[in-house]
């Protein structure tokens, strides 16, 4: 079996389903067992980094679980890491973007000087659900004058049509380690 398939099988075995969290009717995909496994965590970072096109300058991760993967992927690629955070968490001047999630509205922020114009950016997140978080992050990246070249997620919840939402926003270079 190829290493990539072995990694995907390991990752899949370490993600557990939690019914009715954070509210009734939602089946939450819990990655904490994956993170607790050194082999599983390494496999996830390896697969996310493998999806990156050449020449990435900056890896962006969104609060909070995107940070867990984006930082190590940035190191793996020899790129910088930029956090996109909730309002009030960054000390400098910020741009903000509000968007809708499956559970309500949210706002994200990034430092106004976090990414140089023209930089090639890879966005990493744990889950692609409706596409709201990635869409808002893409808007912030564009506002900074950078080029979003790829989005890579650990897990895509295809039944929520996030990839289709992103395509409507002009974000077509998207990959997922696992799709359910």
Catalytic residue positions, numbered: 65, 102
Q: Which helix (H) or strand (E) holds 127?
A: strand 120-128
Q: Are strands 94-101 and 104-111 parallel, antiparallel or unpaired?
A: antiparallel
Neighbours of 30 (CB within 10 A): 13
Nearest residue to 35 (alpha-carbon basis) of 83, 86, 74, 71: 71
CB 51 within 8 Å of CB 61 = no
For 168, phi and psi rounded to 5 degrees? Answer: -65, -25
Burial 125-140 (b: 16+ CB within 10 A, else e): bbbbbbbbbbbbbbbb
């Amino acid at each position: 079996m190829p290493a990539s398939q072995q990694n995907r099988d390991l990752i899949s075995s370490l993600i557990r389903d939690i019914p009715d969290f954070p509210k009734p009717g939602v089946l939450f995909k819990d990655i904490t067992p994956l993170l607790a496994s050194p082999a599983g965590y390494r496999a996830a970072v390896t697969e996310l980094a493998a999806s990156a096109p050449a020449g990435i300058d900056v890896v962006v991760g969104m609060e909070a679980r995107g940070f867990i993967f984006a930082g190590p992927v940035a190191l793996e690629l020899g790129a910088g890491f930029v956090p996109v955070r909730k309002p009030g968490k960054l000390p400098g001047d910020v741009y903000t973007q509000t968007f809708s999630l499956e559970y309500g509205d949210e706002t994200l922020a990034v430092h106004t000087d976090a990414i140089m114009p023209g930089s090639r950016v890879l966005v990493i997140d744990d889950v692609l659900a409706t596409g709201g978080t990635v869409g808002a992050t893409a808007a912030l990246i564009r506002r900074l004058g950078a080029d979003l070249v790829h989005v890579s997620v650990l897990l895509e919840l295809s039944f929520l049509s996030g990839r289709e939402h992103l395509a409507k926003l002009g974000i077509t270079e998207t990959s997922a380690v696992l799709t359910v």
